[in-house]
Amino acid sequence: MAKPGLSKIRSEIDAAGLRWQAADNPISRLRPEARTSRLGLAVPPGERERVAQAMVTAEAMRAVSAHAGERDWRDVGGDDFVTPIRDQGNCGSCVSFASVATIESQARIEYKEPSWDVDLSEAELFFCGGAACAEGWWPVHALEYATEHGIGDEACMPYADHDLVCNLPDDKADRMLTVGEWQEVAGVEQRKGWLDTNGPMIACLAVYEDFFAYDDGIYEHATGDLAGYHAVSCIGFNDAEGYWLCKNSWGAQWGDGGFFKIAYGEAEIDTSFAMYGVSGITGTLAPEEEHEESTGIADHVVLRSDARADVLFAHVDGAWRHLSISNRRAADLSDVAFVAGQVSVTYEGERITALSSWMTK
């Protein structure tokens, strides 16, 4: 497969008057077969034709862009509901990464916790869902798995960019999220409505050779052959400039910190593929509760030591609070600290932050 050079891509962009910039990056420097392995959307036979019948034309979509409207889930009243950029590596697991990214964002939105460090297992979704690196996958299959089985956190099955045997811990049920329902959305205005009021969506697109060198701006195909098909998480749109805003899974050194803008109707994103939204996220994973700091007098204090840790327990305000400490810190505690009725304890939830005049670090 021919790989257009950077100068060729830039000259074609300039000649066509396009609104994006190309640059050398870790993905564009890969060999053609390695770049192709960064894709992985396995399109079912007849799918593009089925969706195309439900789509408006690219020209009509661009006319729609005259209407005011935009959304960026990275900045909603100053809150960022999009989880960090990941890297699928040398495996055609883009569908899993796009699905997990969308579900993670939806969890932050529905739990109203934009700072929640939720990190689900792309490896579980992909490999336990029956997919393989060389074969790729399809979003419907990923969403069916996430609905029926849920997805554990990253520690349940850490990701590696080669085929893995599905091996989940016994306690996955204690640390997972499940999709309540999902929806295929074909119409452009309906997608914007979902993105505006619900959250990000899984999107699919054709990838041409010039896309690997994307750096910034609003992508439109300038030059190069079709490399394959890809899935990403669409996190917003902008009607004034006519683009979808998407989160990729090629690391933060590609594109605009791992993100990209793509023009309405470009690379088959609107003409051959639907988008998919999720909702009703539930499960045993939850954001850590924030507690206001309180101070009370302990009626009982116990210091327990074993080979792993020294833990001080104080019963204050009707509950046991705890603090892990070192032997040095334990030696610094005066005898008076262990006299019932004389120990002032400051705590947040179950965690002790200060004991008498001895502060935690």
pLDDT at 195 over 90: yes
pLDDT(358) > 80: no
Same fold, 6-283 and 294-359: no
User: Catalytic residue at 204?
Assistant: no
What whole-number percentage of the chain has pLDDT above 90? 70
Q: Of residues 94, 156, 234, 246, which has the active-site annotation? A: 94
Segment 249-291, tens digit of pLDDT: 999 999 999 999 999 999 999 999 999 999 999 999 989 765 5
Q: Report d(CA 231, CA 314) in Å as an integer.
A: 51
Q: What is the pLDDT of residues 106-139, one digit of tens each?
A: 999 999 999 999 999 999 999 999 999 999 999 9
Task: Look at residue 360 and tell me whether its pLDDT is greater than 60.
Answer: no
More confident residue, 63 or 30: 30
> Is residue 336 pLDDT above 50, yes or no?
no
Based on the residue annotation, tell me whether 300 is a catalytic residue of this protein: no
* Level-2 CATH architecture, domain 294-359: Beta Barrel (2.40)
Token pair for residue 260?
Answer: 């990209």
Q: Active-site residue among 156, 204, 230, 234?
A: 230
Domains of the chain, residue spans: 6-283, 294-359
* pLDDT tops 70 at residue 346: yes
Is 327 a known active-site residue? no
Would you state the pLDDT for residue 304? 67
Predicted confidence (pLDDT) at residue 83 exceeds the cutoff of 60? yes
Q: What is the pTM of this model?
A: 0.78
pLDDT tens profile 229-248: 999 999 999 999 999 999 99
Helix%, strand%, coil% for the chain, nearest 5: 25, 30, 40
The phi and psi torsions of 164 (rounded to 5 degrees) equal -125, 150
CATH class for the region spanning 6-283: alpha beta
| Element spanning 14, H or E | helix 6-16
